[in-house]
Amino acid sequence: MASEKAGSRVWIVPDCFLPAKSTGDLKSHESNCVLNIGKKPATLRLTAYFENREPTAGFQATCPPRRTIHIRLDSLENRRGERILVGTPFALKIESSVKVVVQHTRLDTTQPALALMTTMAYAAG
Amino acid sequence: MASEKAGSRVWIVPDCFLPAKSTGDLKSHESNCVLNIGKKPATLRLTAYFENREPTAGFQATCPPRRTIHIRLDSLENRRGERILVGTPFALKIESSVKVVVQHTRLDTTQPALALMTTMAYAAG
Amino acid sequence: MASEKAGSRVWIVPDCFLPAKSTGDLKSHESNCVLNIGKKPATLRLTAYFENREPTAGFQATCPPRRTIHIRLDSLENRRGERILVGTPFALKIESSVKVVVQHTRLDTTQPALALMTTMAYAAG
Amino acid sequence: MASEKAGSRVWIVPDCFLPAKSTGDLKSHESNCVLNIGKKPATLRLTAYFENREPTAGFQATCPPRRTIHIRLDSLENRRGERILVGTPFALKIESSVKVVVQHTRLDTTQPALALMTTMAYAAG
C-alpha cells in the first residue's frame, strides 16, 4: 500500500524546551510522537542541539512496525548517562532507519492551568 | 477549478490522546476536521495505532461534497463495537476515497481553564 | 527576488470555530493572517464550508503589497449581509489573486484564562 | 550527510503579535527558533511587515553551525534603533545565508495562566 512508504527518515524540531516548573497534577513535559505504519521496526537516533555548546547525540528509541511511540524528552538518556536539562532552549534532530512521521508537543503547567502546543516536525529527507 | 483537486487521500496524526479528565463546561476531546471541496462524497476509514498492541481499524465516517465534518474521536465506534480509550497515547491514519484536507485539534480541560493545540495532519499520499 | 514569488493562491483551514463565550478582557475569536510580500495587491475571496448546509461564499478582503492583514473571522460579512455564526464548526477556503502565505489562529477564552492554537493553512495550489 | 542540506533559506510567519500584557512570572513573548545543522554559520536577516505602514527591515541574528538560537522578538533592534512594538499585528520574513529550519512560538500570559501556540514557519525558498 502506497501509504506504507509515507513519511521521512529525518525530522527536525527547532523549538524544544522542558519547563522547569509544574503546577497541578500534570508535569510540564515535551513528547516526540512517532508513527511507524510500515512493516519493519524503526530505530531512532535523536540529537539535541543547544545555543552555546556542542550537540548531545546518542539518544535512542525503537518504534516497532504498526506501532506509535510517544517519547518523553525528559526521560531520554544516552549511553554516557547524558540527559536533556530542564529550562534550557534546545532543538532536536530525529533520524530513523525507516520512514516514519513525527509530531512534537509541549505541555506546560508552569503557571496554574494547562498550556499545549503542537506541530508536525519538519521533514528533512 | 484546480483547487477542487487539492488535498490528499492519506493523512497521519502521530500525537493523539483523549484526556480522561475534564473541568468546567467543556469536555476534553480531540477532533479530526475534514474538508471536502470536491464534487464527490469522501468515504473515510480511520485506523488507530497504539504503543503496545495491534492497531484498531474499521472506524468510518463520510464527508459529503462541499462539506466539512469535525469528527469527535471520543465518539468513534467500529462495527465490532470497539472504541478508543481515554488516557491512552495513540496515533491515527485517515484514508479517504477522494482528496480531502485534514486538521487535528485537541481541547484539554484536565486542569482548570482551557488548552488547545492544532496542526495540519501529515499528507502521506 | 525569489522569495517574492513564494506562497500559494489557494489555502485551506479545515478546523474553524468561533467560540460563543468569552471570559476576561479578551474576546474569543479566530484570525486568518495573510502576508503579501509581492508588489501587487492581493484580492482575497473566502468561502465558508459547513457540516449540514451549502457553503457561504463572497467574503472579501484585500492585502496590499508588502503588507500583512489579520482578518477577524467574526467581522466578515458578504454583500448579502451574511456572517459566520458563533458556535458552529466550519472550514475555510481562501483564494487570492496573487501568491500569499496564510496562517490560522484561534484565541479561546470560553473558560477563564486564555487558550491559543495556530497552524499554517494548507497550501492547495 | 543528506540531512545537513535540509531546510530552507527563506521562511515566513504571517501571524506575529507581542502581547502588551503579562500575568504571573512569565512575560508574554514570541520566539523565532532556528536550527542550523550545517557546517557554516547562518547570517539571518528579519523583516517585519505591518498592516498600515512600510515594512521594517534590518533585524539581524547569527546562528553558528550545529547550534540553535531562540530569537526573542521583543529584543530585536536594528541599526536605526527600531524595535517591534507590542500590541501590533505583524508578519515576519526570515532570510538566511544558509539553509536552516525555523519554528515560531507565542507564549501569552495576558490572562492568568499560560497559553502557547507554535507552528513551523512556511518554507518559501
Q: What is the pLDDT of residues C51-68, one digit of tens each?
A: 999 999 999 999 999 999
Cell of C25: 478582557
pLDDT for residue D114: 81
Q: List, in order, residues 6 or more apart from A53 with CB less than 8 Å away.
A: none
Select from A51, B85, B117 the least CA-distant residue to D68: A51
Please name the residue that has the C-alpha cell 512517532: A34
Phi and psi at residue B4, in whole multiples of 5°?
-70, -15
pLDDT band at A8 (very low <50, low <70, confident <90, very high): very high
Give pLDDT < 70 ranges for chain B.
1-5
Q: Do A68 and B52 lie within an 8 Å CB cutoff?
A: no
pLDDT for residue B2: 47
The C-alpha of C50 sits at a distance from chain B's nearest C-alpha, in angstroms, of 5
pTM confidence score: 0.93
Q: What is the pLDDT of residues D32-61, one digit of tens each?
A: 999 999 999 999 999 999 999 999 999 999
Chain D residues contacting A, CB < 8 Å?
Answer: 2-3, 5-7, 23-26, 31, 33-35, 37, 66-70, 101-105, 107, 109, 112-120
**Neighboring chain B residues of C108 at a CB cutoff of 8 Å:** 114, 116
| End-to-end alpha carbon distance in chain B | 21
Q: Do B35 and C119 lie within an 8 Å CB cutoff?
A: no
The C-alpha of A37 sits at a distance from chain D's nearest C-alpha, in angstroms, of 22
Chain C residues contacting B, CB < 8 Å?
Answer: 10, 12-15, 49-52, 54-55, 89-91, 93, 95, 106, 108-120, 122, 124-125
Q: How far apart are CA C59 and CA C75, in angstroms?
A: 10
- Are the C-beta atoms of residues B112 and C111 closer than 8 Å to each other? yes
Half-sphere exposure of C125 (CA within 13 A, CB side): 13
pLDDT for residue D1: 39
Q: Do B103 and C55 lie within an 8 Å CB cutoff?
A: no
The ipTM estimated for the assembled molecules is: 0.92
Q: What is the pLDDT of residues C78-113, one digit of tens each?
A: 999 999 999 999 999 999 999 999 999 999 988 878
Q: How far apart are CA C63 and CA C66, in angstroms?
A: 8
Q: How far apart are CA D36 and CA A20, in angstroms?
A: 25
Q: Do D105 and A118 lie within an 8 Å CB cutoff?
A: no
Please name the residue that has the C-alpha cell 475534564: B22
3-state DSSP of chain D: CHHHHCCEEEEEEEEECCCCCCCCCCCCEEEEEEEECCCCCEEEEEEEECCCCCCEEEEEEEECCCEEEEEEHHHCCCCCCCCCCCCCCEEEEEEEEEEEEEEEEEEECCCCCCEEEEEECEECC
Half-sphere exposure of A125 (CA within 13 A, CB side): 14
pLDDT for residue C111: 85
Q: Do D114 and A108 lie within an 8 Å CB cutoff?
A: yes
Q: Which whole number is the average pLDDT over D80-102?
A: 96
B55 to chain A: closest CA residue? A66
The C-alpha of A23 sits at a distance from chain B's nearest C-alpha, in angstroms, of 9
Q: Do D105 and A117 lie within an 8 Å CB cutoff?
A: yes
Q: Which whole number is the average pLDDT over C25-33?
A: 92
Beta strands in chain C (DSSP E): 8-16, 29-36, 42-49, 56-63, 67-72, 90-108, 115-120, 122-123
**Neighboring chain C residues of B2 at a CB cutoff of 8 Å:** 10, 125
- Are the C-beta atoms of residues C87 and C74 closer than 8 Å to each other? no
3-class secondary structure, C6: coil
Mean per-residue pLDDT of chain A: 92
**Neighboring chain D residues of B115 at a CB cutoff of 8 Å:** 115
pLDDT for residue D123: 92
Q: Do B125 and A3 lie within an 8 Å CB cutoff?
A: yes
Q: How far apart are CA B55 and CA B16, in angstroms?
A: 14
pLDDT for residue A2: 47
Q: How far apart are CA D70 and CA D90, in angstroms?
A: 19
Q: Give the count of Cβ contacts less than 8 A between chain B and C.
A: 99
Examine the pLDDT at D3 and tell me if it is beyond 80: no
* Nearest Cβ partner for C51 among B2, B7, B69: B69
